[in-house]
Amino acid sequence: MASESAKFVNNLGTLSFSNCLIEIADDWQWSGGIVTRARRIRLTGVVRRAEFDAFDEMSSTRAIGVGVATEPGQRGVLTLPWTSIAKMKLQSIDMPGDTWLHTVNVTAEFVDDDPDSSKYECSFFGITLINPRFVLQLPFRSVRDEYVQMPISGGTIINTLDATFGAIRSRQTYDNMRCVLSGTHLIEEDFDVQKTVEILAHRGGTNNVASTGLPPGYPAYFNMADLSPELATHLPLTNLWVIDSTLAWSFERDQADVTVQMECPPQLLA
Amino acid sequence: MPIANFNAIPITGPGDQIPVLSRYDPIWGFYTFRQLLENTFNDAQVYHSRAVFQIDGAFTCDAEEVDPDADPAGALIALTTKYEALEALFSAAGAAARPIDTADWFTATDARCIQLPTPIADKLGHRLHAIPLGLTLIEGQYALTLRYSATLGEPQVPSSILLVNGFALNDAQVQIDPPKPIVTRHRMVAGEGSMVNIRNYTQPTISVSGVMPSRAGELLSERAVALSQSLLAGFMELKRVRWSPTGLVVTTLYSNLPVDSPSVDIRPNDRGVSVSVKGLA
């Protein structure tokens, strides 16, 4: 359909389209019981060069990554003649070969795939983890089987149903619980590697971690509510301590995969 | 927007039924320019754009001043010579080695880049360099006009580079293992959980890996040799170099880091040397 104007506003500026054509398509993707909806909007219209330049920080040598040289673009608000849609992604801008001075015909594609869920972020004492995962080993009593040597003398018949030839089974008490928190941490310009290492090791008495119960240098205990109040409602774990952690830094992408392995006494879920 | 102002000059070759508005360049012939800006969103849902340039061009008999009626064979040779020169330009850029110095990447001195014709320029008026992605000769009336479609990509330098003892590693991965407790466990006969004895904490470990480029025909680059020699002293220094609008920003991550089990993996066909080294803080 034809329209007078539409505009897209995000942190980089405003991109106004005049005399534009609008195409809207909705997709639903089914994966098991989860349905994901994505709305794609294509605008073909005239934009002013001055506005376009704000979205295109083209230079002869440009750094990739986030927060460097150019400010990263964020989701924005797309205003159509009859409605406006927040948190839209500007997916692409296509400028066909044409003669132009101050305006140009472009085709811009937007995607509205902002999920209603799975936007959760977690913080491990100041280290923000996006796309977090939390793997929890539930309390259990492990089983230990010991086996006796079967007789090998000639003529002996081994009855496989005879418990005499079976395993000697014993059951352990509940062991400590292990849980692993992992996620992606974006490396900012002022990233302090020593401070991050101290937080991940989480030893009491270090510069960024206070001692809790044990002498300085020993693990600092904490509760799930300190990490994630939302998770703590059903996982009210207490006396967690860090047993292992890693930070795998993809240097040129300015992001790191952080994994923190924790342990706590066996506890019930709420 | 990497473009200033296109003047409209119609292609006037005799094979053209419908004139196309274009520019003329001795290397590119008559051409039109198109730019596609694609945004890539990262895990934080912010985007970073990358441009793809498309140049649709034509070499014509008029421009090359040959007469296809009088000498069709000569006209075809004149046009194919132009196309082959363009193809050679793309081939040479695609086969060029990475500049040893990262600061030279994707500049006028980087042989991997092709300079786009004027008046295509960035918003500051600088000429643009692009890496070759594709070149297609389009079917047509070859004796009269050779048409092609060229695709080039915007080259971009990484935002951060790792320096090990002053030598840059490309595609660097740094794994940091913070101190972890050295634990002895005792299961209890009665009661729940384990009795845990913590003897001490391990020292943090920093494992570094990356690639150092080599020149064509060079198995082990001089820089890789120099880096390995610097590691013989038993210590290394890790620095982070970032591009910023005001210039390079250098931050020291670790200094005097004791070196453990360094190794190089020479890969001649990749024209690079993989370097990995562990540091014990």
Higher pLDDT, B6 or A145: A145
Q: Which pLDDT score, from 0 to 100, does residue A175 have?
A: 86
Which pLDDT band holds residue B5 (cuts at 50, 70, 90)?
very low
Chain A residue with minimum CA distance to B242: A68
Q: What phi and psi values does residue B17 have, to the nearest 5 degrees?
A: -80, -40
Higher pLDDT, A7 or B12: A7
Distance (Å) from the C-alpha of residue A164 to the closest C-alpha of chain B? Answer: 26
Task: State yes or no: pLDDT of B7 exceeds 50.
Answer: no
DSSP A237: -
Residues of A in contact with B47 (CB under 8 A): 72-74, 89-90
The residue ranges of chain A whose pLDDT is under 70 are: 1-4, 53-70, 97-102, 115-119, 270
Cβ density class A115-124: b for 16+ within 10 Å, e for less: eeeeeeebeb
Q: Which pLDDT score, from 0 to 100, does residue B1 have?
A: 46
What does the alpha-carbon distance between residue B85 and residue B77 come to, in Å, rounded to a whole number?
12
Distances (CA, A) of A165 to A130, A162, A170, A182: 53, 6, 16, 45
Q: Which pLDDT score, from 0 to 100, does residue A67 have?
A: 43
Q: Which pLDDT score, from 0 to 100, does residue B142 have?
A: 63
Interface test with B, best of A193, A258, A262 (most B CBs within 10 A): A193
Q: What phi and psi values does residue B90 have, to the nearest 5 degrees?
A: -65, -45
**Which residues is B240 bridged to in the sheet?**
B162, B251
pLDDT tens digits along B71-94: 888 888 998 999 999 999 999 998
Interface test with B, best of A46, A194, A249 (most B CBs within 10 A): A249
Distances (CA, A) of B15 to A107, B23, B60, B82: 31, 18, 8, 17
pTM recorded for the entire structure: 0.78
Chain B residue with minimum CA distance to A184: B43
**Which residues is B48 bridged to in the sheet?**
B40
Q: What phi and psi values does residue B226 have, to the nearest 5 degrees?
A: -65, -35
What rounded mean pLDDT belongs to chain B? 82
Distances (CA, A) of A149 to A152, A164, A168, A246: 9, 11, 12, 44
ipTM of the complex: 0.78
